[in-house]
A = this chain, B = another copy of it.
Amino acid sequence: MIIVLKPGTPQSAADEILAQIAAAGLKPLCLPGTERVVLGALGDERVLGNLHLENHPAVERVTPILSPFKLVSREWHPDNTVVRIGSVEVGGPRIAVFAGPCAIESADQMRRTAEAVRNAGAHGLRGGAFKPRTSPYSFQGLGVEGLHILRDVARSCHLPAVTEVVEVSDVGVVQEYADAFQVGARNMQNFRLLTALGNSRKPVILKRGMAATVEDLLMAAEYIVAGGNPNVILCERGIRTFETATRNTLDLSAIPHIKRVSHLPVLVDPSHGTGVREYVEPMARAAIACGADGLLIEVHYDPRSALSDGHQSLDPDAFKGLMQNLRPFIEAAGRTA
Protein backbone atom coordinates (compact mmCIF):
# COMPACT_ATOMS: atom_id res chain seq x y z
CA MET A 1 0.00 0.00 0.00
CA ILE A 2 1.33 3.41 -1.02
CA ILE A 3 0.25 6.45 1.00
CA VAL A 4 0.83 9.86 -0.59
CA LEU A 5 0.81 12.71 1.93
CA LYS A 6 -0.46 16.20 1.24
CA PRO A 7 2.17 18.86 0.46
CA GLY A 8 3.52 20.54 3.56
CA THR A 9 2.65 17.67 5.91
CA PRO A 10 4.84 17.89 9.02
CA GLN A 11 7.15 14.98 9.82
CA SER A 12 5.18 14.35 13.01
CA ALA A 13 2.09 13.37 11.01
CA ALA A 14 4.17 11.05 8.83
CA ASP A 15 5.66 9.47 11.94
CA GLU A 16 2.21 8.96 13.42
CA ILE A 17 1.05 7.08 10.34
CA LEU A 18 4.24 5.04 10.19
CA ALA A 19 3.68 4.04 13.80
CA GLN A 20 0.12 2.94 12.97
CA ILE A 21 1.45 0.76 10.17
CA ALA A 22 4.07 -0.81 12.42
CA ALA A 23 1.49 -1.37 15.17
CA ALA A 24 -0.60 -3.35 12.71
CA GLY A 25 2.31 -5.72 12.23
CA LEU A 26 3.32 -4.42 8.81
CA LYS A 27 6.58 -3.01 7.61
CA PRO A 28 6.50 0.81 7.31
CA LEU A 29 8.56 2.69 4.76
CA CYS A 30 9.17 6.42 4.32
CA LEU A 31 10.09 7.84 0.90
CA PRO A 32 10.67 11.57 1.22
CA GLY A 33 10.41 13.07 -2.28
CA THR A 34 11.10 16.60 -3.41
CA GLU A 35 7.45 17.64 -3.62
CA ARG A 36 5.63 15.00 -1.62
CA VAL A 37 6.31 12.54 1.16
CA VAL A 38 5.26 9.04 0.22
CA LEU A 39 4.82 6.24 2.75
CA GLY A 40 4.70 2.53 2.10
CA ALA A 41 3.31 -0.38 4.04
CA LEU A 42 4.47 -3.88 3.21
CA GLY A 43 2.35 -6.89 4.09
CA ASP A 44 -1.19 -8.16 3.63
CA GLU A 45 -3.09 -5.13 2.44
CA ARG A 46 -6.44 -6.68 3.21
CA VAL A 47 -5.54 -6.39 6.89
CA LEU A 48 -4.20 -2.92 6.24
CA GLY A 49 -7.60 -1.81 4.98
CA ASN A 50 -8.80 -1.74 8.57
CA LEU A 51 -6.35 1.03 9.40
CA HIS A 52 -8.46 3.43 7.28
CA LEU A 53 -5.42 5.55 6.54
CA GLU A 54 -7.45 7.41 3.90
CA ASN A 55 -9.34 9.06 6.77
CA HIS A 56 -6.22 10.83 8.05
CA PRO A 57 -6.29 14.55 7.23
CA ALA A 58 -2.64 14.49 6.14
CA VAL A 59 -3.26 11.78 3.54
CA GLU A 60 -3.83 12.85 -0.05
CA ARG A 61 -4.51 9.37 -1.36
CA VAL A 62 -3.94 5.70 -0.70
CA THR A 63 -3.06 3.37 -3.56
CA PRO A 64 -3.36 -0.36 -2.95
CA ILE A 65 -0.77 -2.58 -4.62
CA LEU A 66 -2.74 -5.79 -4.48
CA SER A 67 -6.22 -6.46 -5.78
CA PRO A 68 -8.92 -6.40 -3.10
CA PHE A 69 -10.18 -9.88 -4.00
CA LYS A 70 -8.29 -13.02 -3.13
CA LEU A 71 -10.25 -16.28 -3.36
CA VAL A 72 -11.43 -15.52 -6.88
CA SER A 73 -8.04 -14.28 -8.10
CA ARG A 74 -5.89 -16.25 -10.46
CA GLU A 75 -2.82 -15.32 -8.45
CA TRP A 76 -4.07 -17.44 -5.56
CA HIS A 77 -5.59 -20.15 -7.72
CA PRO A 78 -3.74 -20.39 -11.06
CA ASP A 79 -5.86 -23.16 -12.64
CA ASN A 80 -9.19 -22.56 -14.32
CA THR A 81 -12.21 -23.48 -12.24
CA VAL A 82 -14.79 -25.71 -13.90
CA VAL A 83 -18.34 -25.45 -12.50
CA ARG A 84 -20.92 -28.16 -13.16
CA ILE A 85 -24.57 -27.26 -13.70
CA GLY A 86 -26.31 -30.62 -13.74
CA SER A 87 -24.33 -32.57 -16.30
CA VAL A 88 -22.98 -29.47 -18.06
CA GLU A 89 -19.44 -28.33 -17.38
CA VAL A 90 -18.83 -24.59 -17.58
CA GLY A 91 -15.21 -23.53 -17.94
CA GLY A 92 -13.98 -26.75 -19.54
CA PRO A 93 -13.30 -27.33 -23.25
CA ARG A 94 -16.99 -27.35 -24.23
CA ILE A 95 -18.77 -24.05 -24.89
CA ALA A 96 -21.93 -24.13 -22.75
CA VAL A 97 -25.09 -22.55 -24.14
CA PHE A 98 -28.08 -21.82 -21.89
CA ALA A 99 -31.16 -20.74 -23.80
CA GLY A 100 -34.80 -20.05 -23.12
CA PRO A 101 -37.31 -17.27 -22.66
CA CYS A 102 -36.84 -14.18 -20.55
CA ALA A 103 -39.89 -15.09 -18.48
CA ILE A 104 -41.74 -18.34 -17.89
CA GLU A 105 -45.24 -17.54 -19.15
CA SER A 106 -46.97 -20.93 -19.34
CA ALA A 107 -46.26 -24.66 -19.48
CA ASP A 108 -47.00 -24.65 -23.18
CA GLN A 109 -44.64 -21.76 -23.90
CA MET A 110 -41.83 -23.39 -21.92
CA ARG A 111 -42.30 -26.80 -23.49
CA ARG A 112 -42.31 -25.50 -27.04
CA THR A 113 -39.31 -23.27 -26.40
CA ALA A 114 -37.36 -25.93 -24.49
CA GLU A 115 -37.81 -28.48 -27.23
CA ALA A 116 -36.68 -25.98 -29.82
CA VAL A 117 -33.51 -25.02 -27.96
CA ARG A 118 -32.67 -28.62 -27.11
CA ASN A 119 -33.08 -29.68 -30.72
CA ALA A 120 -30.84 -26.82 -31.82
CA GLY A 121 -28.12 -28.01 -29.45
CA ALA A 122 -28.48 -25.89 -26.29
CA HIS A 123 -27.00 -27.49 -23.16
CA GLY A 124 -29.25 -25.89 -20.57
CA LEU A 125 -32.62 -24.19 -20.16
CA ARG A 126 -33.13 -20.72 -18.77
CA GLY A 127 -36.32 -18.91 -17.82
CA GLY A 128 -37.37 -16.43 -15.15
CA ALA A 129 -40.08 -17.08 -12.55
CA PHE A 130 -39.29 -14.00 -10.43
CA LYS A 131 -38.86 -11.06 -12.78
CA PRO A 132 -37.34 -7.74 -11.75
CA ARG A 133 -39.25 -5.23 -13.88
CA THR A 134 -38.63 -1.51 -14.13
CA SER A 135 -42.36 -0.79 -14.01
CA PRO A 136 -44.75 -2.00 -11.31
CA TYR A 137 -47.35 -2.28 -14.06
CA SER A 138 -45.40 -4.88 -16.09
CA PHE A 139 -45.76 -8.66 -15.86
CA GLN A 140 -43.84 -9.71 -12.73
CA GLY A 141 -43.42 -13.42 -13.40
CA LEU A 142 -45.34 -16.51 -12.30
CA GLY A 143 -43.36 -17.05 -9.09
CA VAL A 144 -43.34 -20.54 -7.60
CA GLU A 145 -45.80 -21.74 -10.23
CA GLY A 146 -43.17 -20.80 -12.80
CA LEU A 147 -40.55 -22.83 -10.94
CA HIS A 148 -42.83 -25.87 -11.16
CA ILE A 149 -43.18 -25.43 -14.89
CA LEU A 150 -39.45 -24.90 -15.32
CA ARG A 151 -38.53 -28.07 -13.44
CA ASP A 152 -41.09 -30.22 -15.21
CA VAL A 153 -40.10 -29.03 -18.66
CA ALA A 154 -36.36 -29.19 -17.95
CA ARG A 155 -36.63 -32.77 -16.70
CA SER A 156 -38.68 -33.97 -19.63
CA CYS A 157 -36.16 -32.37 -22.00
CA HIS A 158 -33.15 -33.64 -20.00
CA LEU A 159 -31.73 -30.16 -19.69
CA PRO A 160 -30.45 -28.55 -16.48
CA ALA A 161 -32.47 -25.47 -15.46
CA VAL A 162 -31.18 -22.02 -14.57
CA THR A 163 -33.40 -19.36 -13.04
CA GLU A 164 -33.03 -16.02 -11.33
CA VAL A 165 -33.24 -15.55 -7.58
CA VAL A 166 -34.05 -12.04 -6.37
CA GLU A 167 -34.57 -12.40 -2.64
CA VAL A 168 -32.97 -14.17 0.32
CA SER A 169 -36.27 -15.76 1.28
CA ASP A 170 -36.54 -17.39 -2.16
CA VAL A 171 -33.14 -19.08 -2.03
CA GLY A 172 -34.58 -22.27 -0.58
CA VAL A 173 -37.34 -22.74 -3.10
CA VAL A 174 -35.18 -21.86 -6.08
CA GLN A 175 -32.54 -24.28 -4.85
CA GLU A 176 -35.18 -27.00 -4.75
CA TYR A 177 -36.42 -26.45 -8.29
CA ALA A 178 -33.38 -25.31 -10.28
CA ASP A 179 -29.90 -26.58 -11.07
CA ALA A 180 -28.28 -23.17 -10.83
CA PHE A 181 -29.10 -19.75 -9.44
CA GLN A 182 -28.86 -16.70 -11.59
CA VAL A 183 -28.19 -13.34 -9.91
CA GLY A 184 -29.33 -10.49 -12.13
CA ALA A 185 -27.48 -7.26 -12.84
CA ARG A 186 -29.65 -5.29 -10.41
CA ASN A 187 -28.81 -7.65 -7.55
CA MET A 188 -25.07 -7.99 -8.17
CA GLN A 189 -24.43 -5.92 -5.06
CA ASN A 190 -27.33 -7.30 -3.00
CA PHE A 191 -24.83 -8.49 -0.44
CA ARG A 192 -27.35 -10.27 1.75
CA LEU A 193 -28.40 -12.34 -1.24
CA LEU A 194 -24.75 -13.06 -2.10
CA THR A 195 -24.12 -14.14 1.47
CA ALA A 196 -27.15 -16.45 1.38
CA LEU A 197 -25.89 -18.00 -1.85
CA GLY A 198 -22.49 -18.52 -0.22
CA ASN A 199 -24.25 -20.93 2.13
CA SER A 200 -25.52 -23.05 -0.75
CA ARG A 201 -23.41 -25.35 -2.91
CA LYS A 202 -25.56 -24.91 -6.01
CA PRO A 203 -23.80 -23.04 -8.82
CA VAL A 204 -24.41 -19.31 -9.14
CA ILE A 205 -24.37 -17.40 -12.43
CA LEU A 206 -23.49 -13.89 -11.31
CA LYS A 207 -24.32 -11.15 -13.80
CA ARG A 208 -22.36 -7.93 -13.91
CA GLY A 209 -24.23 -4.83 -12.73
CA MET A 210 -24.91 -2.01 -15.16
CA ALA A 211 -22.57 0.34 -13.28
CA ALA A 212 -20.18 -2.30 -11.99
CA THR A 213 -16.51 -2.46 -12.86
CA VAL A 214 -14.96 -5.88 -13.34
CA GLU A 215 -13.37 -5.39 -9.93
CA ASP A 216 -16.82 -4.83 -8.40
CA LEU A 217 -18.02 -8.02 -10.09
CA LEU A 218 -15.10 -10.00 -8.70
CA MET A 219 -15.69 -8.57 -5.23
CA ALA A 220 -19.31 -9.72 -5.46
CA ALA A 221 -18.08 -13.20 -6.45
CA GLU A 222 -15.66 -13.08 -3.51
CA TYR A 223 -18.68 -12.73 -1.19
CA ILE A 224 -20.13 -16.01 -2.46
CA VAL A 225 -16.85 -17.91 -2.45
CA ALA A 226 -15.83 -16.54 0.94
CA GLY A 227 -19.18 -17.78 2.23
CA GLY A 228 -18.25 -21.31 1.22
CA ASN A 229 -19.69 -21.77 -2.27
CA PRO A 230 -16.89 -22.08 -4.86
CA ASN A 231 -19.29 -22.68 -7.75
CA VAL A 232 -19.49 -19.20 -9.22
CA ILE A 233 -19.81 -18.42 -12.93
CA LEU A 234 -19.45 -14.79 -13.99
CA CYS A 235 -21.56 -13.26 -16.76
CA GLU A 236 -20.93 -10.15 -18.86
CA ARG A 237 -24.26 -8.65 -20.01
CA GLY A 238 -23.44 -5.07 -20.92
CA ILE A 239 -22.86 -1.88 -18.98
CA ARG A 240 -24.63 1.44 -19.15
CA THR A 241 -23.00 4.11 -21.27
CA PHE A 242 -24.09 7.14 -23.31
CA GLU A 243 -24.66 4.98 -26.41
CA THR A 244 -28.36 4.35 -27.05
CA ALA A 245 -28.20 2.38 -30.31
CA THR A 246 -27.97 -0.74 -28.16
CA ARG A 247 -29.76 -1.37 -24.87
CA ASN A 248 -26.42 -1.71 -23.08
CA THR A 249 -22.78 -1.62 -24.17
CA LEU A 250 -21.50 -5.18 -24.19
CA ASP A 251 -17.99 -4.95 -22.73
CA LEU A 252 -16.30 -7.92 -24.38
CA SER A 253 -12.83 -6.71 -23.37
CA ALA A 254 -13.91 -7.75 -19.89
CA ILE A 255 -13.59 -11.39 -21.01
CA PRO A 256 -9.81 -11.52 -21.55
CA HIS A 257 -9.40 -9.26 -18.52
CA ILE A 258 -11.42 -11.56 -16.28
CA LYS A 259 -9.55 -14.57 -17.66
CA ARG A 260 -6.26 -12.92 -16.71
CA VAL A 261 -7.12 -11.87 -13.19
CA SER A 262 -9.52 -14.63 -12.13
CA HIS A 263 -9.87 -18.41 -12.41
CA LEU A 264 -13.68 -18.37 -12.59
CA PRO A 265 -15.55 -19.29 -15.78
CA VAL A 266 -17.35 -16.52 -17.63
CA LEU A 267 -20.44 -16.44 -19.84
CA VAL A 268 -21.73 -13.70 -22.12
CA ASP A 269 -25.38 -12.69 -22.53
CA PRO A 270 -25.62 -11.01 -25.95
CA SER A 271 -29.42 -10.73 -25.69
CA HIS A 272 -29.37 -8.24 -22.81
CA GLY A 273 -25.99 -6.97 -23.93
CA THR A 274 -27.41 -5.59 -27.16
CA GLY A 275 -31.20 -5.61 -26.74
CA VAL A 276 -31.52 -6.06 -30.51
CA ARG A 277 -32.41 -9.43 -32.01
CA GLU A 278 -30.25 -8.94 -35.11
CA TYR A 279 -27.08 -8.31 -33.08
CA VAL A 280 -27.35 -11.39 -30.87
CA GLU A 281 -25.67 -13.80 -33.27
CA PRO A 282 -22.69 -11.62 -34.26
CA MET A 283 -22.01 -10.79 -30.61
CA ALA A 284 -22.35 -14.45 -29.62
CA ARG A 285 -19.65 -15.22 -32.18
CA ALA A 286 -17.46 -12.40 -30.87
CA ALA A 287 -17.90 -13.62 -27.29
CA ILE A 288 -16.57 -17.06 -28.21
CA ALA A 289 -13.76 -15.51 -30.24
CA CYS A 290 -12.42 -13.53 -27.28
CA GLY A 291 -12.53 -16.42 -24.83
CA ALA A 292 -15.94 -16.72 -23.20
CA ASP A 293 -16.82 -20.15 -21.80
CA GLY A 294 -20.43 -20.02 -22.92
CA LEU A 295 -23.55 -18.03 -23.65
CA LEU A 296 -26.93 -17.10 -22.23
CA ILE A 297 -29.41 -16.56 -25.07
CA GLU A 298 -33.03 -15.46 -24.95
CA VAL A 299 -35.20 -17.66 -27.16
CA HIS A 300 -38.99 -17.73 -27.36
CA TYR A 301 -41.02 -20.07 -29.54
CA ASP A 302 -42.96 -16.97 -30.66
CA PRO A 303 -41.20 -13.71 -29.76
CA ARG A 304 -44.16 -11.64 -30.96
CA SER A 305 -46.26 -12.95 -28.10
CA ALA A 306 -43.54 -12.67 -25.43
CA LEU A 307 -44.56 -10.87 -22.24
CA SER A 308 -41.05 -9.43 -21.80
CA ASP A 309 -37.98 -8.79 -23.91
CA GLY A 310 -39.57 -10.17 -27.08
CA HIS A 311 -37.68 -7.60 -29.16
CA GLN A 312 -34.37 -9.19 -28.22
CA SER A 313 -35.52 -12.84 -28.27
CA LEU A 314 -34.67 -15.21 -31.09
CA ASP A 315 -37.26 -17.49 -32.58
CA PRO A 316 -36.41 -21.20 -32.93
CA ASP A 317 -35.14 -20.84 -36.49
CA ALA A 318 -32.88 -17.94 -35.68
CA PHE A 319 -31.49 -19.81 -32.67
CA LYS A 320 -30.87 -22.90 -34.76
CA GLY A 321 -29.00 -20.75 -37.27
CA LEU A 322 -26.95 -19.17 -34.48
CA MET A 323 -25.92 -22.57 -33.12
CA GLN A 324 -24.88 -23.78 -36.54
CA ASN A 325 -23.00 -20.61 -37.44
CA LEU A 326 -21.27 -20.62 -34.07
CA ARG A 327 -19.63 -23.98 -34.70
CA PRO A 328 -16.67 -22.81 -36.84
CA PHE A 329 -15.94 -20.05 -34.33
CA ILE A 330 -15.96 -22.57 -31.48
CA GLU A 331 -13.48 -24.66 -33.42
CA ALA A 332 -11.36 -21.64 -34.27
CA ALA A 333 -11.19 -20.90 -30.55
CA GLY A 334 -9.94 -24.42 -29.89
CA ARG A 335 -13.09 -25.36 -27.99
CA THR A 336 -15.80 -27.96 -28.57
CA ALA A 337 -19.47 -27.42 -29.29
Residues of A within 8 A of B (CB): 2, 4, 7, 29, 31-36, 38, 40, 42-44, 46, 49-50, 52, 54-57, 63, 65-66, 68, 75, 132-140, 166-169, 186-187, 189-192, 195, 209-211, 213-216, 219, 222-223, 226-227, 239-246, 249-257, 260, 273-274, 276, 278-279, 282-283, 285-291, 303-307, 310-311, 313, 328-329, 331-333
Residues in chain B near residue A195, CB distance under 8 A: 136
B310 touches A66 (CB 8 A): no
- With contacts A57-B304, A290-B285, A304-B57 taken as known, whether A253 is within 8 angstroms of B242 at the C-beta atoms is no
- Chain B: which residue is nearest A213 at the CB level? B243
Q: How many copies does the complex hold?
A: 4
Residues in chain B near residue A253, CB distance under 8 A: 245-246, 249-250, 273-274, 279, 283
Report the bound CA distance from A56 to B291 in whole Å: 26
B191 touches A133 (CB 8 A): yes
B278 touches A256 (CB 8 A): yes
Residues in chain B near residue A135, CB distance under 8 A: 49, 68, 219, 222
- With contacts A34-B43, A249-B251 taken as known, whether A310 is within 8 angstroms of B52 at the C-beta atoms is yes
CB distance from A11 to the nearest CB of B (A): 16
Partner of A42, one of B34, B65, B216: B34
Residues in chain B near residue A246, CB distance under 8 A: 253-254, 257
A136 touches B226 (CB 8 A): yes
Partner of A134, one of B52, B189, B278, B290: B189
- With contacts A57-B304, A257-B246 taken as known, whether A289 is within 8 angstroms of B329 at the C-beta atoms is yes
Instruction: List 14 additional A-B contacts (Cβ < 8 Å) besides A136-B226, A241-B242, A285-B289.
Output: A2-B63, A36-B65, A55-B313, A136-B227, A168-B169, A246-B253, A246-B254, A252-B286, A253-B274, A256-B279, A282-B291, A285-B333, A286-B289, A286-B290
Report the bound CA distance from A166 to B68 in whole Å: 23
A52 touches B307 (CB 8 A): yes
CB distance from A235 to the nearest CB of B (A): 16
Partner of A332, one of B210, B227, B283, B332: B332
